[in-house]
Structures are given as structure tokens and as C-alpha cells.
Structure 1
Amino acid sequence: MTIARADFIEGMAKGLAVLESFDTERQRLNATLASQRAGITRAAARRHLLTLAHLGYLETDGSWFWLAPKVLRFSGSYLASARLPRMVQPTLNRLAAQTGESFSVVVLDGEQVVIVARSGTTRLLAYGLHLGARLPAHATSTGRVLLASKTKAALNAWLKGRELARLTAHTVAEPKAFRAVIDDVRSKDYCIASEEHELGVHALAVPLRTLQGDTVAALNVVVPTARFDPRTVERDLLALLLDAARELRPLL
């Protein structure tokens, strides 16, 4: 949303930018690295790091800072109170019990997708597919389904100036080819991504829509290439996902 300049608290925005600078690539930051990642001065980054540590959201050895367990309060509160995870969880559990595979519901957040609900499974999950995990949208089945729900103008804006990282040898990272992939997903209304985010993994996703037709999330299943090929994934699992999406529509 857009707010009046007088209502914008710049200090809060900078503090959150520093907090968001921590990720799996940079789990520990000093003031210099935090300033570079947050786009603020080193002096400002240092003050924000010290304040966040004082409040208990970061831990520090005096020079380096890292996330403290207290930051989980935000995600825990969201997952406990948000409507979407509560609405989809029974369906995810049923699909997992029916197939033994791992299912997730994912939303788009900028250049990444975030897992907001997932099923338990006895099978080994792909790396990083835990609740709250953030994954690159361009290399995931869910991200592509959600990007395909955008208008072409909105997709152009999303792609403008963005470098698509090549995560594996199979990742589609060239902009023109990626646009063609999104057009294909938009036409089919589902996506299969094979070993583009992680080797040894196929992922199949379909959009979750409201009764008004708005795409609010994506539902996906992740399976190992050792047991499935893309045709088998489509043959055995697509109908299940489509049926689940139809069942969820009145609840979203």
C-alpha cells in the first residue's frame, strides 16, 4: 500500500531492512556488510544492529551479529493467526496421507516465494522445504505459477533489471526463455519444474484462487527424480492438485 510521506517512519524501515539482510547466504553480518545489504550508511547500520541486539532480536560477539530465536515470534504469530495456513492445512494433510508425498502452499514475496503451510511426510524432503522457507521464485514451480497470474505489464515490471540466478544446469535464467516458460505456464495453468532449484527434485504446482478468480497462493508437490519422471508426475499427481485447488476455492 501507499502512505503519505508524513506517516512513513524511516527509522523503522531502515531497522527492518537491516533485519532482512540476514539470510542463508549471510547468516552473520558486521556493520559494513549490513550497511551494504540494507543500503544505508555504516554508522546507521551499526546503530540498528546494536538496537536489535539490545531488544533481543540479534545476538552478537561484539563485532558480528546473527539472528536470535526471538525473531521467530513474527513468523509464529503469522502462522498461528493467518487465515490461509489454517484453511489449507487439512487438505495438505489429506494429500500427504493419500500419497506419502510432500505438499506445500506458497505465496509470492518480491523475488522469492515463502512456504506458509506444508504437510508432514515420511519421505525425505528436498533441502530447505521447511515451513517459512524462502525460495527463488524464478526457479520454482510455485513461483512460476504465481508469476503467471500477473498481467504481462506486471510481469515486465517484476523482471525489469532483475538477474535470474542459474542455480543448477537446468535453471532457465535467460529472460527471453523465461518469459516463454511463464507464457506456457499461463496457458496450461500449472507448472512442472525439474531440477531447476535443486538437483534430484521435480516440483509440480497449481494456482489457488478465490471464488472471484484472484490467485492468492500456489499448491505444490515435491518428489525425487529417482522415483518419478516429469510425465509420471503429471499423470499421477496433477489431477489430485487440481481437485484440491477446486475444493479450497470457496474457503479462500
Structure 2
Amino acid sequence: MTLAAADTIAGLAKGLAVLESFDTERQRLNATQAAERAGLTRAAARRHLLTLAHLGYLETDGSHFWLSARVLRLAGAYLASSRLPRVIQPALNRLASQTQDVYSAAVLDGDEVVIVARSAGLAPVNPLLAYGRHLGARLPAHATSTGRVLLAALPREQLAAWLRGRELRRITAHTVTAPRAFRALLAQVAEQDYCVATDEHELGVHAVAVPLRTRDGRTVAALNVVLAPGRLSDAQLAADILPRLRAAAGEIRQLL
């Protein structure tokens, strides 16, 4: 969405940038660190940090700041009011009860994907689940099965804009980072209408994703399953994994 300068509240944008500076890598920030991450002066970052703490969105020890539980009001409001997670959730639960694997759905947000629904409490505890399985987890789009499905579904102009000047971060030795190779990979994903990502975001993690489309054909999310090593073979992919995902995506499509 393009917004005229006269309609923009710069202070709000800066405050949100400071709030978004906190993530799993940087859970506690001081004013200098927040300024660097949000692209502000230290003085401006400090004012925003203090204001957010006053409003209850941050906690502080006087030097460092960290997110408070109040931030969950924002995420909770999305999950409670957005139709997409509510429509997808029953299908994820049903899939997990059938296979004991972990299923999730993600949407594209800039250079990341965000988990908006996941099968909760049905699959056994698995050490692989450090791979961002919780609601709201953000994962790099270029190195994940869901991200590649969503990028491959973008119109040509939007994909070109997303790729333009972007450096694809190497996360493991298997991450595809060369621009030409990545474009070819997305073309393959678009043609086959699914994506398999192995060891690219986290070693030992194998994920398969398919697009979730509305009845008019728009891709609005991606559905994926995470499998343990040894669970993914060409035969299993063709005979069981893909048919199960595509059947669920077809059911969900009728509701979107």
C-alpha cells in the first residue's frame, strides 16, 4: 500500500520499528542497540523505548529493555479476528492426528514468513521442533519450504522487486544463495506446485510445502509438514506426503 506523506505518522512508524527490533537473536536491547536496529538516533530510540515501557509493551531494568506479555495483545487480536488461521486450524489438527507429524501454515511478510497456524499438542515431542514451530515464529523466506512456495506464487513484477538487490543469507552449508540458482529454484517450485527444503534453514530439518489458495486462485498462505531425517523419500513424497497436503489444501480452499 502506497501512502502519501501527509497521511503518514512518522512517530508511530518509528515506535513500531523499535518494537520490531526485538527478536529471538536480540531479546534484550539498550538504547544504542535499538537505535542501530531501528535506524534511529540513540536519543530518539531511547524516547521510544521509554514510551513503550510506560505503555506496558516493554519491561526494563533501567539499562536494557525487553518485550512484556502485553505485546501478545497485538498477536492475540490478529489470531482472534483473522479468518485465515481459524479456517486452517481444524485441517492442521486433523492432519497431525493422522500422521503424528507437525503441520503449520505461514504467510509472507517482507523477507520472512510468519507462522499463523500450527498443529498444537497432537504430535509427540521432537527435538527438531527448535525450527520455529510456535505461532508467530518468523523464518527466512528464501531458506524455507513455505517461503519459497509463497515467493514462487508472486506476480513477476513483485518477485522481481523482492529479489532486486537482495542478498540471500547463508544459514547452513546447504542454503541456496546464488541469485540465478535461486530464481531457477523458484521457477521449479512454481512449475511443480510444491517445495521441498532440506537442511537449508536448520540441519536435520526436512519440510514439504504446498500453496493455500482461495477459490479465485490467489495464494494467501502455504501449508507445510516437517519431517524427521529418513522420513522423506521420493516414493513417500509421491505416494503419501504430497497427496495428503494437497487434499488438505483443497479442503481449505473451499472455505477461503
Cα distance change on mapping 1:41 and 1:234 into 2, 3 Å? farther
Residue by residue over 1:115-136, the C-alpha shift from the partner in whole angstroms, topping out at 9 and shown as x without a partner, is: 0000021241521211110000
SS at match of 1:113: strand
Q: Tell me which moved more, 183-192 or 160-169.
A: 160-169
Q: Tell me which moved more, 7-16 or 123-132.
A: 123-132
Q: How does 1:22-41 map onto structure 2 within 5 Å?
A: 22-41=22-41
Size of the alignment, in residue pairs? 252
Residue by residue over 1:212-241, the C-alpha shift from the partner in whole angstroms, topping out at 9 and shown as x without a partner, is: 110000000001114334553443210001
1:225 to 221, 224, 229: 229
Conserved 8 A contact 1:28-1:64: yes
SS at match of 2:252: helix
SS at match of 2:254: helix
Cα distance change on mapping 1:141 and 1:84 into 2, 3 Å? same
SS at match of 1:126: helix
Cα distance change on mapping 1:232 and 1:123 into 2, 3 Å? farther
Q: How does 1:111-190 map onto structure 2 within 5 Å?
A: 111-120=111-120, 121-124=123-126, 125-127=128-130, 128-190=132-194
Q: What's the counterpart of residue 84 of structure 1? A: 84
Give the distance between the partners of 1:68 and 1:190, measured in 2 at CA: 38
**Structure 1 segments (4+ residues) deviating >3 Å:** 226-231
Report the residue type matching 2:199 in the other structure. E
Cα distance change on mapping 1:68 and 1:115 into 2, 3 Å? same
Give the distance between the partners of 2:99 and 2:146, measured in 1 at CA: 20
Q: What's the counterpart of residue 55 of structure 1? A: 55
Report the residue type matching 1:191 in the other structure. C
Conserved 8 A contact 1:168-1:197: yes
Q: What's the counterpart of residue 195 of structure 1? A: 199
Q: Give unmatched runs, 5+ long, in structure 2.
A: none
Give the distance between the partners of 2:92 and 2:23, measured in 1 at CA: 27
Q: What's the counterpart of residue 7 of structure 2? A: 7
**TM-score normalised by length of structure 2:** 0.95
Structure 1 vs Structure 2 CA RMSD = 1.3
**TM-score normalised by length of structure 1:** 0.96
Conserved 8 A contact 1:194-1:230: no
Cα distance change on mapping 1:230 and 1:58 into 2, 3 Å? farther
Residue by residue over 1:186-209, the C-alpha shift from the partner in whole angstroms, topping out at 9 and shown as x without a partner, is: 110100001111111110000001
Give the distance between the partners of 2:224 and 2:94, measured in 1 at CA: 14
Cα distance change on mapping 1:52 and 1:230 into 2, 3 Å? farther
Q: Give unmatched runs, 5+ long, in structure 1.
A: none
Conserved 8 A contact 1:22-1:28: yes
Report the residue type matching 2:24 in the other structure. T
Q: Given the alignment of the two structures, is residue 65 of structure 1 paired with residue 69 of structure 2, yes or no?
A: no
C-alpha displacement of 1:108? 0.3
